[in-house]
Amino acid sequence: MLVGVILPGSTADPREPLGELASLARTAGAKVVAQILQRRQRPDAGTYVGSGKVVEIAELARKHSADVVVFDNDLTPGQIGSLERIINKEVGNKRGEEGIKILDRSELILDIFATRAQTREAKLQVELAQMQYTYPRLARMWGHLERIATSGAGLGIGTRGPGETQLETDRRIVRRRISDLKSQISEIQKRKTRLVEQRNLEHFTVCIVGYTNAGKSTLFNTLTAAGTYADDKLFATLDTKTRAWRIERGTEVLLSDTVGFVRDLPHNLVASFMATLEEAVHADLLLHVLDVGHPHAEQQFESVHEVLKEIGATGKPELLLLNKTDTDEGEAAWPVWRTLYPAAIPISAKSGTGVEKLAEAVFDHVRGQ
């Protein structure tokens, strides 16, 4: 079940506020059975949505037999704990039963990232992001100890004293692991930065950026025949791939594919994936792939530029590629984008339409530099 709280200044698409969350949930392997929206001036400190709305969520969850409630917002550990307690009480889950679980947006994205990571670098970065997410939530995770202690179990292990000791032990272990992961990732970043800078001295580098599922990996495969995994799912690519791309007149450039961006990407994920986005920071030219037929194309366009700004890749030469123009929606939408951005190139990454014109435009940039 999906829950969205629309606050002033929300970046959610007003036409379909929970559309992206639904895609994320499906990518994570969930089946969406219900959705609920609420508009608020500010989040409720205790439950984010307020006591009345929590009861409404519980009733809807019970009606549709939902196992998980996913929020399109980031919740505090206390709010997640309160929501789980109230909702499971309302639904009638007894102590000890497997109750309804509450996830926030960041945890859902982390879950997807964990299943997509392939290389050692990506796995380290995902683990770091998970540890940073987990650390402030350890106290809630140890809440079961308090329940054991108050239920009269009479056990030495699991009463409040040992529980608190174990909590501190866990925190110390997590702090040490975070430090170790940062150290390993820092070494990878230094090595990668040197590699990218050296490569840029010898080659003209082009980096494909864009919203997740916009068609970046499909375009990368079409241009380089690299066989990169491409699927109609969010975050199909997590590891940067770089291949040689031969454009006209014997000129060769290095082309890189990157992880897709989403709106409100959790900050610790942006920080963790700086090494993955290194290609975008140092590239000579960015190819911004936009699914022009997507109903949220304008919002996705803005979100990509927000992330580029956050990683320090603004002000670079950029070619806007209006992808999926071979679909009915794309064909209808691309003339409007061409009016707004006359230099934009309509393409179909799948069929290869517009690739020749793209190669010419990239060649002009190489010659100009």
What is the Cα–Cα distance from 20 to 236, expressed in whole angstroms? 15
**Dihedral over Cα of 93, 94, 95, 96: its sign:** negative
pLDDT of residue 241: 78
Q: Reduce the DSSP state of residue 9 to 3 states and report it.
A: coil
- Which tokens go with 121? 């670098």
Whole-prediction pTM: 0.74
CATH class label, 197-368: alpha beta
End-to-end CA separation in angstroms for the chain: 52
What is the Cα–Cα distance from 110 to 40, expressed in whole angstroms? 26
What is the Cα–Cα distance from 189 to 282, expressed in whole angstroms? 13
Parse the chain into domains and list their residue ranges: 2-103, 197-368
pLDDT of residue 238: 54
Give the pairing of strands 252-257 and 241-246. antiparallel
What is the Cα–Cα distance from 108 to 102, expressed in whole angstroms? 10
* Angle between helix 160-202 and helix 143-150 axes, rounded to 10 deg: 170
Cα-flanking dihedrals φ and ψ of residue 218, to 5°? -65, -45
Cβ pair 249, 329 in contact under 8 A: no
pLDDT digits 0-9 by tens, 165-192 = 677 888 888 899 999 999 998 888 888 7
| 42 contact partners, CB below 8 Å, separation of at least 6 | 7
| 21 contact partners, CB below 8 Å, separation of at least 6 | 2, 4, 70, 72, 105, 108
CATH topology for 2-103 is Rossmann fold (3.40.50)
Residues facing residue 206 across a β-bridge: 255, 285
Cβ pair 128, 121 in contact under 8 A: no
What count of Cα atoms within 13 Å lies in the side-chain half-sphere of residue 264? 16
**Dihedral over Cα of 40, 41, 44, 48: its sign:** positive
Element (H or E) spanning 118, and its range? Answer: none
pLDDT of residue 110: 85
Fold agreement between 2-103 and 197-368: yes
What is the Cα–Cα distance from 107 to 30, expressed in whole angstroms? 14
Q: pLDDT averaged over consecutive 10-residue blocks of the chain (369 residues)?
A: 92 83 89 95 94 94 93 90 91 68 89 80 85 78 47 43 67 90 87 78 88 88 71 58 82 85 72 69 91 88 87 88 92 92 93 92 87
pLDDT digits 0-9 by tens, 245-264 = 988 777 889 898 887 777 77
